[in-house]
Each structure stands twice: as structure tokens, then as C-alpha cells.
Structure 1
């Protein structure tokens, strides 16, 4: 079931002249010429001097705009990840990608824009709004872009997906990378499932609150107590088995630590070590700031069958092997989880996070997502949740997904980022994906880019299908 889209989904939303008049330009961090480039100069090589702007919107959000000489008419609008709000006017907005990708894009005629919201934490609501204002400033400065691509990292990728669904009048395509594209409700339900199993089986008397935390101090205390339990459990075979079971519900990757080789398919202990390393930031990721913003608890496990979740997790063999080695009864632990008291959500908090932002998969512009195979922050299974939502909405042809063969979060090379940007731009301009969005084609394109510019680094695109997301959520899906 889908909630109705906001009325601005298919209609252009203009930022008023009065609001723009209130926009203050902070002292530029780099030399900035007057913002008077002619719209007629867009796309004409050498048609205007480069433009470099840093400023502050009336909301307190900071923005950055870089337009090279000979702008080709394409702009990439960047949204940052969680916890990267401006806070004050001295914190400038970023432009996305990495330094090598930014340099390549500017050198090849692409404009870059970035918006850093004044709000901190899960500042999706503000960034969806303020990104539109930044693009209006760019259009008033240098003319309307021919092509606008939204991109963003982690939470910023959720915002890019939000712009693709809600503002097809504003953006022509989106590149969410390392992104929480399952949405915040599904993400924190996934974490709750891991935390619920962990505390029920390993810390029933530790008094670790899981939801409705009330304050940052409460959350910090709960995380410290959970960390102590986790470290103690990791020292025993029984504890390691139960950590692996909890990690299966949270869908923590068995290859999580950057710079390490992937454990073998039957290296159950090696896989568990990797899950242990990622357990706290995945399962006990920041919750209080999201509850505070949403006005209540946005997670629940009422009606959840943990036996069924384990069956569908792709981790059953690992968990059974570790339980057998520890001399534990897996069936008894699953029974214990089945009878433990459940947690309910606050419908108003869920509704807020549906608006800000839970994808429903309805796409009017093409989207290309990029994920690391061993990402946990969010888990790579979020890519599967998103593709399933898009397919159910009937818009599967609008989406392609790319994966790189490494663990970690948002650690892409310049070659990987530029290759995906060029592939998405080609789809926007031609109306066809062709063969260019597959792993071999992306790899060959990245190799050609790196051969001409070694600073872009190498690429590790790989064919990959993530495990099914255990508890996806679409707007209106609260039990």
C-alpha cells in the first residue's frame, strides 16, 4: 500500500524571489567572481570564467557551487551523510565523490553543487528542501542546467533517492552511493532485530534499553553496557554463536573489515570475527537522534517470526555450525526469542520517517545505485530492498545497481565514481541503459579512465546479488 505522493512530486516548485533575496553569501573560501555568468554561455567551451560560490541559505544551510569554464550543461547536486550538518556558517558544504573524482569532473566540464543542512543527524527533511534552493542559486548564476543529477553518500544517498521520487521536475537522474535506500524505518527495524536477539540471549538482566531512549546520555549508557556484553561474549564459543545469530537477523556482512581478505565460504569462525567487528555500529547505530526528530519510536518487532528470519537470512549454515561447536541448542534459543515480549512502534514517528524518507519505488527518472559488497553502514542488503520496491512499483527498467568487491563504507575510488556518473548521464541523455551498466562494462570504462588519469585509481566492479532484505518497509506498511 502506498501513501499518496506529496503534491509537489510531479509539479515544479519554485523558490521565491524573496527567499533568495535573504540568502547571504559567506566570505568565499576560494576566489569567487561575481555571480553574473550568462545563461547563454552554458555548454559553450570557454563561454564564461569559472564560478566558485560559497554561501548560506536563509535556513542556515551552507552551499557550495563550482562551475568550470566551458560548462557542459550537466550539474551534480550532492547531499552529505548522517551527522554532517552545517551547525554554523563556518562549515562549508561538500561537493561529493572524492578529490580525484571532483577534479576529473570539473576538468571535463561538469558543474558541482553541494548542500549541507543546518540540522544535524537525520537531516533529510531539511536537505530535500535546501538542495532545491541551491540549484535555484546555480540557475540564477549561470543559467538552467541541461542535465541535473542528484548524488549523495549514505544518508545523502537516501536524499538523492528522495529527489528522484519526489522531484523529477528538478533532477533528471540520481546516483545514491553507499546509501540507506531501504529507508530509515527498515534500517532501524533491521538493527532492532539484531539488538533484540542479542539482549534477550546474552544480556537479559543488563538493562539495555533498545527504543524510546529519551536522551543522548541514555543511549551512550546503553551502548557502553552492550559493548561490555559483546566483548565478554566474544571470548566464549557460546557467546560467539549467539553473536552470529544476532548478526544474521541484522544481516551483518561476513566480510566487514577493510584491508582484510574475505573469509572462505565455510570459514564460520572467520566470518563471525568479521561480524563481531561490525556489530556495535550496525546493531547499535544512532537511534536517539532519529527518535527525537520523529517524535517517538519508529521501530517494532510485533509479529516477527525469528525462525523464519533465520531461514531467509542466508546465514543458517554458519549459525548452526557455530551452535554445534559451542554445544548450544539453537532450537531452544529460537523458542526463547519467540516467547520474549515484543516492542511496538509509535505510528506518528513511523509516518514522519516515511515522509523523510522511505522510498516507495515509483521512479520517473533513472537511478543507478552503487554499493560495496561488504558494507554494513547501511548493510548492502538495503540495495535489494530498494530494487524489490522499484520492481513492485513497476519501474524496474528505470533502475540499475552496481557493486564493488570490497568491504567498508563509502570507500570508492575516483574511477568507480566517475564511471557510474558517466553511465547514469548516458542513460539520461539517450533514454537507454544499453549494456553500459553491467559490471564488465563499468569495469572497462573505469579502466579506460584510469589509463588516462592514474589518480582516479583502479576499480573493482563485480556481478553481485545481495541477500533478500529480511524486513522491508514501504510507506503505509506499519502493522
Structure 2
């Protein structure tokens, strides 16, 4: 293992050693593997693994929210999951990973760090024939960002469980649900604060108060009806809890229980660090019509049934929402979050996204808005999307990862999407798992997500 303090100081010695290892004949007559870790001048950490019989394809990974290297220089990850990584290395794929120095929504740092890691890879292993960017959650937004901003660096992108609607749309969606929740379930609780949080401590007090109000509401029929109403605007999945069966189509109570379980993490996700990074509040609900939003959410029947069972007047609650003063955004903060990173859709390389149907972090409807944005940019032929039939966030099996990687690589090398449907990926994953049971089973399905309620595309 090669470990360096900074690339700038020791890149020549690292390069010389890596090239010497690569050129030295191994017992089998093939080049030796390369394993490199280090720290970029920015403080980002990186890792590089090149197998003995490299096939010329590199996968470069970006991590999710809150996974910065920090002053401890935590080592970078390589992506996927253990069985997938083992399979990829054993079948000739090289892996690289970048962990940004910044914490939280460190998209700007990760975009820069990824470019540095790719430059380092070229120094120690040579230029790849094919470079694929992949990443989970926020890291998927980075992969999508590379597909738009740096197609000179990569040949394809695989964002998985990714925030591909962008942070402005994602936090507007959360604000809508939090606004409804506070108005109807915590109207007099000043501790529940929606935006412009002054400190991490204030955010902790706010989420603690919101949790108490949520738990109290869940104990009454009226509270459960209003939780379902609020959840509809965040499009919280009615199948959210891992390891549980999906509620029946008209089992409104069971669906609401799943929404309740995911409500806090979906609706009151960390906002203070994002506002600090953006320089203000980047969310708003001025002009939002909540009657229309409920109609378009696909949850009208569920909400009406729960309101009727609780003896509540849904129309009165919607009228109350219309009368409450709204929240405005700070334009500079919106601009920052547009830049880091809200997709505009003009992808320069093929993109394959992968989403779980019951994901909330982000909700699966983000896949739909990303598809719409790419299509409106005239790049629809560059995009394919696949879906996995389970709840949870970034919980893919090795077979699902490897099938997606191989499908994207085939598109890059042939120029055609010939096998990107759920049936084809399922068959490919089954063959992979039959050869290597450690990869596990795949659950690809044909699925069309609903429309995202609050899309935002930068002008």
C-alpha cells in the first residue's frame, strides 16, 4: 500500500513506484496490482485499486452526505458494496474513490476532489480506456454533476439512490411538508423552526420539538390524518420500513404508519449546515397551492379516508394552510445550491440511474423530475433509469450493482442502450448471482414514479 501526505509533495515517487510495479513481471506473466491511498492538497482523501489484469475501465466513486474526510483524513471509499467490489476487481475493473475534506453537502469539494483523483490515477496507472463515475445519495448528485460539468473526465455516470432533483427541489419538498405539519400540528410551538436556523443547537431543539409533536399526533386519529396530509407533500413513501411487507393498496392505516416512521428523517432532514454552506435560506413556498399539490400527490384518496375516519374537515385544513404567511428564499443561497448542484439536464455522457421504489432520502419521485429535465434539454437518448422493488436507501445487492455497471459500460463501448430494461438487468443479475452467490439476488422491476411536486430547474 502506498500512502502519501499530499499528492503535490510526493507524486513523482509514487508514480515511479506504481509504474515500476506495473511493469515488473508477476509470476503469471501479468502486471502486478496497484494499491494507492493519499491526501490531496485540498485535504480530500483518495484511494486507488488497480487489479493485476486491468480491463481498462475505471469506476470513480463519490460518497454521500456527511461523509467528509475531516481533519482526521478518513480514508476514501471505493463504492458499491463488498461483494460488488470484490467481483469488479476480480474481473479486471479498477476502482478509485474520493472523500472530500468538507462535510455536509460537500458537492463543490467532491467535484474538485474527483478531478484530482482522476489526475492521480492517470499518474500512477495510466489513462483508462473508459471512466465511469458512480456515487450514492449526495455522491450520486456528484456523478450527475460530472456528467454535465466534466464530460471531458468521464465516459458515463451511474448515480444510485441519488439526489438528482437537486438540493433546491429536495428541500422545497421538505419545507412543504414541514409547513403543513407546523401549521396543523404544532401551531403554537415556537421551538419548531422551519428555515433560517441560527445554530446547530437551535436545529436540535427544533427537531426535538417536532418529534414530540409528531409522536403525540400519531396517538390520535386526527393526528394521523394530518400526518398523512403533510407526508403527501413530501411524497413520503407508503412503503418506507425495511424488512416489512408493502401495505395493501387501500390499507390507509398501514400506509400512514410507514409514512410516520419515515417522516422526521424525510421532512426534518438537516437544514442548518446546508444554509450555512449556501449563505442563507434556499427554500420557499410562496405561491404554492396546497390544494393542487394534494390533488397531484397521488395521496388524495388516502388522506380523504383518514380525515373522514377522524371526523375532520379536510377543506377547512386546506383553507387554513392557504391563509398562513409563506416562506421566502434568499436569492444568493438559491444560486449556490443551483451551482452545487442542481441538474440542468445537458448531460455530455450516458447516464444510468438506479433507485429503490421505497426510498425517501431522496424520494423516488426525484427520478421522474431528473428524467423530465434531461429530456427537455434534448438529451433523453443519453439516459436510462432502473428501479429496485424494496424500501430503504442505498441498500442494493452486489448483483444489482454489477448488473448496472456492466449495462452502463456496454452503452459506453457500443454506443447503444441494448439491455437497460428491468427484464434484461434482472436476467443479467441472475446469471451473475448463479456464478457468484455472494452477489445476492436482484429485484429489478418495471416502474414509473409519480411526478415530483416541486421541481426546480435553474434558468
Name the TM tier (shorter chain): over 0.9
Q: Please, which runs of 5 or more residues in structure 2 have no aligned partner?
A: 1-5
Deviation at 1:47, TM superposition (A): 4.1
In the alignment, which of 193, 202, 222 is matched to residue 218 of structure 1?
A: 202
Q: Distance in 1 between matches of 2:29 and 2:330?
A: 56
**Number of paired residues?**
450
User: Is it true that 1:138 corresponds to 2:138 in the alignment?
Assistant: no
CA contact (8 A) 2:8 2:40 kept: no
Is the partner of 1:136 in helix, strand or coil? helix
In the alignment, which of 412, 416, 429 is matched to residue 428 of structure 1?
A: 412
**Which residue matches 2:284?**
300
In the alignment, which of 153, 175, 179 is matched to residue 136 of structure 2?
A: 153
Is the partner of 1:126 in helix, strand or coil? helix
The C-alpha deviation readout for 1:253-297, integer Å capped at 9, x for no partner, is 000000000000000000000000000000000100000000000
Deviation at 1:140, TM superposition (A): 0.6
**Which residue matches 1:341?**
325
**Aligned runs of 1:26-425 on 2, under 5 Å?**
34-36=17-19, 47-207=30-190, 208-425=192-409
Q: Distance in 1 between matches of 2:142 and 2:423?
A: 28
Distance 1:145 1:37, change over 3 A: farther
**Which residue matches 2:438?**
455
User: Is it true that 1:472 corresponds to 2:455 in the alignment?
Assistant: yes
Is the partner of 1:86 in helix, strand or coil? coil
TM-score using structure 1 length: 0.92
The C-alpha deviation readout for 1:169-222, integer Å capped at 9, x for no partner, is 000000000000000000000000000000001101011110000110010000
Is the partner of 2:357 in helix, strand or coil? strand
Is the partner of 1:35 in helix, strand or coil? helix
CA contact (8 A) 1:37 1:142 kept: no
TM-score using structure 2 length: 0.96
Distance 1:127 1:150, change over 3 A: same
Q: Distance in 2 between matches of 1:314 and 1:234?
A: 22
CA contact (8 A) 1:23 1:57 kept: no
Q: Which moved more, 1:127-136 or 1:86-95?
A: 86-95
Q: Distance in 2 between matches of 1:24 and 1:385?
A: 42
CA contact (8 A) 1:79 1:96 kept: yes
Deviation at 1:38, TM superposition (A): 8.4
Distance 1:46 1:235, change over 3 A: farther
Deviation at 1:364, TM superposition (A): 1.5
Is the partner of 2:444 in helix, strand or coil? coil
Is the partner of 1:152 in helix, strand or coil? strand
Pairwise CA RMSD: 1.8
User: Is it true that 1:21 corresponds to 2:4 in the alignment?
Assistant: no
CA contact (8 A) 1:37 1:143 kept: no
Distance 1:358 1:135, change over 3 A: same
